[in-house]
Amino acid sequence: MIQHRLRNLPRELAQPYDWTEFRRRARERAAAVARRDANARTTLAVAAALVLAVVGIAIWMRFTRSGGPPDIAGYPMAETDWRVFEGDAGSVSGTDARANAAERWLASLPTEPVVVRVGTRAAVTGLEDRIAQLDDYLSAARVAGVQPAKLVDVEAQRALLVRSLVQVRYAETLVSASR
């Protein structure tokens, strides 16, 4: 009954507008899409420029900080120790006092070097990503019919990465076995 009533409804209605209006709206919409794309491209370019600027400033700051000689003048231990040694420094020269202070400072350090353990996840993921990228590149090049001789360098690079990955994995296995 419901189906019958629904099917009896008109199956055609007057078109909302004619061909000329349709064309006008289509042109308008195409122009709007083009404007939106242009805006998106501009936004992307500005964002990329900002990111580049931030990265550039970060790199510049890093190099300007680590480029010069280390600032040891303000090192607190040196200050303190010089004063201690200058108290009985009548017979000892300034150079000796400095050497003694340095030796004392070295003696205060731990005898064993500190071992810092770093997770291998980032290294493994990075290596795997780069291998996958090279695989993609090689596949695309083969499909495009590039001569194998021209891909030798890429294949060598890939082999190097695979070797590195094997070494990292091997190290992981050793560590897990030793625990």
Partner 1 sequence: MARLGDIQIPRELLQKAAHGDEAAQVVVYTTTAPATFALIRRLMSNRAVAEDLFQDTMMTLFEKLPEFRGEAPLGAWLKQIAVSKCLMFLRSPWHRVRLRLENESEPEIAQGLGALITPAPCVEGLDVERALSSLSATARAVVWLYEVEGYSHEEIARLFGRTVSFSKSQLARAHVKLRDWFGSTRGKQSCTPIQSNGKV
Residue 166 Cα to chain centre, angstroms = 23
Supply the minimum distance, in Å, between the C-beta of residue 75 and partner 1: 59
For residues 7 and 150, which CB has a smaller minimum distance to partner 1 in the complex?
7
In DSSP notation, 101-127 reads HHHHHHHHS-SSPPPPP--SHHHHHHH
Single-letter residue type at 79: E
- Counting DSSP H helices and E strands in the chain, the numbers are 6, 0
Smallest distance from partner 1 to CB 21, Å: 10
- Shorter beta-carbon distance to partner 1: residue 9 or 149: 9
Q: Based on CB atoms, which residue is closest to partner 1, 21 or 155?
A: 21
In whole angstroms, the minimum distance from the beta carbon of 148 to partner 1 comes to 37
Check binding of 68 to partner 1 (CB under 8 A): no
Q: Is 69 an interacting residue with respect to partner 1 (CB under 8 A)? A: no
Alpha carbon distance 2, 7 (integer Å) = 9
Q: What is the smallest separation between the CB atom of 23 and partner 1, expressed in angstroms? A: 9
Q: Give the Cα separation of 145 and 154 in Å (integer).
A: 15
Q: Which residue has the tokens 């964002």?
A: 47
Tokens of 42: 């501009």
Q: Identify which of residues 29 and 62 has a Cβ nearer to partner 1 in the complex.
A: 29
User: What is the contact mask toward partner 1 in residues 3 to 42, using x (rule: CB under 8 A)?
Assistant: x-xxxxxxxxxxxxx-x--x--xx--x-------------
122 binds partner 1 (CB under 8 A): no
**CA angle, corner 141, sides to 139 and 147, nearest 5?**
120
C-beta of 16: minimal distance to partner 1 in Å? Answer: 5
Asked if 87 and 100 touch (Cβ cutoff 8 Å), the reply is: no
Residues that bind partner 1 (CB under 8 A): 1-3, 5-17, 19, 22, 25-26, 29
